[in-house]
Amino acid sequence: MASHMTDLLERTAPAYERVRRVIPAVEWPAFAEDVDAILALKRARNAVILAHNYQTPEIFNCVADIVGDSLALARQAMAVKADVIVLAGVHFMAETAKLLNPDKTVLIPDLAAGCSLADSITPADVDAMRARYPGVPVVTYVNTSAAVKARSDICCTSGNARAVVEALGAERVIMLPDEYLARNVAAETKVEIIPWRGHCEVHERFTPADIAEVREGHPGVVVLAHPECPPEVVAVADFSGSTAAMADYVADHQPSRVVLLTECAMSDNVAVLHPEVEFIRPCNLCPHMKRITLKAIRAALEENRHEVTIDPAVAAGARRAVERMLAI
Ligand code: 13P
Ligand code: SF4
């Protein structure tokens, strides 16, 4: 038994080295067995794991092959050569990977890993917006179901929203479903934006008072806000951008103190790379992202669950909207 544990810790030592700043050594044995099993399963099944920036450090740093924001995951999904893709993230991300890889097996470790934005809008809502604003193009955030994407002209992410809106060359666009992302983009462009009323349950909770409190308690702190935060929060932040843009900001500017107004795991994952930066941590957990665990990823690979399928009647239209975005 002792020698099994010694061997296991030895085999997983390179993985632990990557997270030792955020996972105490005493906690590592609880992760090591699953990390070891997942690394072996990936080889056996010719699988890759795509992980969003909100995944916990042991997933993000120890078993993932490709990490990033929604845009990076979609771009990289196009180039995957493996037979199986495990999406460590939420359901719409797995659907996007499947749209771009119709012939591969795409697995989501927990089917209930949803998103409040995706839940805020239906295909019938998109049709109603089109009827209300005839001829106005529809830009849809990737945080939506494939059926909603299929009713859209083009998709966007938080990393390219303004570029997508401006690339259409229209005076007005409908931007669905995140009201705050739409209003934050509207503040940066001359294009008139017609928003929907969806909100991210994680980012809508940040307030200007939170920022004031952080600035008072931590002089000199640099405040980075995700564009799913309310516009009044973004207005008093020092920078706003996608999760990847926030990580790049820390890498490029090396602030001595920073707060990332987004999901909690982001700070852990960026902190791993920047031990000299102090991360102040008022953050909110995304319950959907946190459904994805090492145990769920292991079970996904062992039992081939849960396979993502997309109704062929919507897949072609949804793929067109995603590919149009990726071409920009
Ligand atoms: P990005 O990583 O694309 O910024 O998206 C944030 C998000 O909330 C994904 O669920
Ligand atoms: Fe959806 Fe918000 Fe969670 Fe992202 S953080 S998956 S937008 S609920």
Instruction: Kindly report, residue by residue over 151-181, the tens digit of the pLDDT.
Output: 999 999 999 999 999 999 999 999 999 999 9
Instruction: Kindly report, residue by residue over 20-74, the tens digit of the pLDDT.
Output: 989 999 999 999 999 999 999 999 999 999 999 999 999 999 999 999 999 999 9
Question: Which residue's CA is minimally distant from atom 9 of ligand 1?
Answer: 70
pLDDT value, residue 1: 60
Q: Does the residue 326 lie in any domain?
A: no
Is the CB of 201 inside a 6 Å radius of any atom of ligand 2? yes
Q: What is the mean pLDDT of residues 314-320?
A: 98
> What pTM, to 2 d.p., does this model score?
0.95
User: Cα(63) to centroid of ligand 2, in Å?
Assistant: 22
How many structural domains are present in the chain?
Answer: 3
CA dist 32 and 164 (Å) reads 42
User: Cα(261) to centroid of ligand 1, in Å?
Assistant: 12
Q: Note the helical H segments in 168-293.
A: 179-186, 208-217, 231-235, 243-253, 264-273
Instruction: Kindly report, residue by residue over 177-217, the tens digit of the pLDDT.
Output: 999 999 999 999 999 999 999 999 999 999 999 999 999 99
Same domain, 269 and 230: yes
Same domain, 135 and 65: no
Same domain, 11 and 85: yes
Q: Does the residue 328 lie in any domain?
A: no
Question: Which residue's CA is minimally distant from atom 1 of ligand 2?
Answer: 115
**Does a cis peptide bond (omega within 30 degrees of 0) precede residue 177?**
yes
Same domain, 61 and 156: no
Q: Does the residue 312 lie in any domain?
A: no
Same domain, 73 and 39: yes
Is the CB of 322 inside a 6 Å radius of any atom of ligand 2? no
pLDDT band at residue 3 using 50, 70 and 90 as cut-offs: confident
User: Cα(178) to centroid of ligand 2, in Å?
Assistant: 11
Atom of ligand 2 nearest to the CA of 286: 3
Same domain, 105 and 148: no
Same domain, 183 and 106: no
Same domain, 13 and 107: yes
User: Cα(169) to centroid of ligand 2, in Å?
Assistant: 29
Q: Does the residue 96 lie in any domain?
A: yes
pLDDT value, residue 282: 85
CATH number of the structural domain spanning residue 194: 3.40.50.10800
Residue to mutate, 201, 243, 289, ligand 1, most ligand atoms under 8 Å from C-beta = 243
User: Domain range holding 247?
Assistant: 203-280
DSSP 137-190: -EEEESSS-HHHHHTSSEEE-TTTHHHHHHHT--SEEEEESBHHHHHHHHTT-S
